Structure 1
């Protein structure tokens, strides 16, 4: 007797189901059973595509990291246009309004997952490290446009922006910061 429904692009459907479970229940609620139930398929489907659950989670994290490429492209194209604070606020609000905060919690809570991700992300916290590089590239582009002072320490500025904004959004069950609050923070740390 068949269970569940036929899946087109099963990997992506499983990733999307995992994201929904992660956002709704947090890292503790993310189990292979919860994912396959959310996807409406048999548990064996997950193991057909992935060697084990940590392998699945590692691929999920790497897939969500790859999605930063679109944000990076948009942010880099905005260099020299609009306001620096506005561009950074839009990127940071989009990043942390997504699954990124939950991904950070997931990777911090699972040693075996972090160990698997080290091959692709040798240092830092996966997704935060890549987002930090996106910010650094943007800040360097704005510095070339003369909108960030030449003496500004871009590494420190980038780390401050990514780390502090993550802290603003870190409580997944609390009140999310508003765009205005994020912008006020960004404006407070940008060099003048």
Structure 2
């Protein structure tokens, strides 16, 4: 078996370290060591740890952003309920897998601010899925499948907020288990649809 290319090894190592020690403590030096390369080699592929984080999110985690972008590019495809269910499912998986990576940032305010500043320059950040879902819902609104008076930004925030909550809120319950993914996504989409669709439940 041929060895993995350096870029792939770096992404693999970054993903693993970010999951186990958190983003704040996963240094480029440690990532390079785990990938079996020098820190200088790491910087040949990635300009910064922030860019590496964005690449881990985009290439190693569930494909939420590409899904939202593809739906926004071709609104009117499939049923609105089916699309929202798929979005909710991918979003729930995305937050479930990204929360352990990014959570450590929130313990260090200055680091979080520096990191978010860098993400914004890269056109990334936790606000982007909300904006992308809002864009999709507005495209559906223009086609008449979402009610003209619906607040699409609020709807996007509600759906993705619920998916983010699923990533950590249910750990504190007696059972310590998250709601089953498929049923959670379907219920969330159906409930949201009742508030924004032109004909609730039949879009």
Note whether the superposition's TM-score is higher than 0.5.
Answer: yes
Instruction: Write the distance in 1 (CA, Å) between the matches of 2:71 and 2:101.
Output: 22
Query: Please, which runs of 5 or more residues in structure 1 have no aligned partner?
Result: none
- Please identify, of 27-36 and 83-92, the stretch whose mean Cα deviation from structure 2 is larger: 27-36
User: Could you report, residue by residue, the CA deviation over 1:55-87 in whole angstroms, capped at 9, with x for unpaired residues?
Assistant: 32x112332565655223332256313222321
Query: Please, which runs of 5 or more residues in structure 2 have no aligned partner?
Result: none
| Number of matched pairs | 177
Alpha-carbon distance, 1:152 to partner: 0.3
Output aligned runs, 1:12-161, within 5 Å. Answer: 12-23=8-19, 25=20, 27=22, 31-32=26-27, 35-36=31-32, 38-39=34-35, 41-42=36-37, 45-50=38-43, 55-56=48-49, 58-64=50-56, 69-77=65-73, 79-98=75-94, 99-110=97-108, 111-121=110-120, 127-161=125-159
Instruction: Write the distance in 2 (CA, Å) between the matches of 1:38 and 1:86.
Output: 41
Instruction: Write the distance in 1 (CA, Å) between the matches of 2:169 and 2:52.
Output: 21
TM-score, structure 1 as length reference: 0.71
Instruction: Write the distance in 2 (CA, Å) between the matches of 1:185 and 1:69.
Output: 19
> Superposition RMSD on alpha carbons, in Å?
3.5
Name the CA shift for 1:64/1:142 in 2 (closer, same or farther; >3 Å).
Answer: farther
TM-score, structure 2 as length reference: 0.68
Alpha-carbon distance, 1:101 to partner: 2.9
Alpha-carbon distance, 1:149 to partner: 0.3
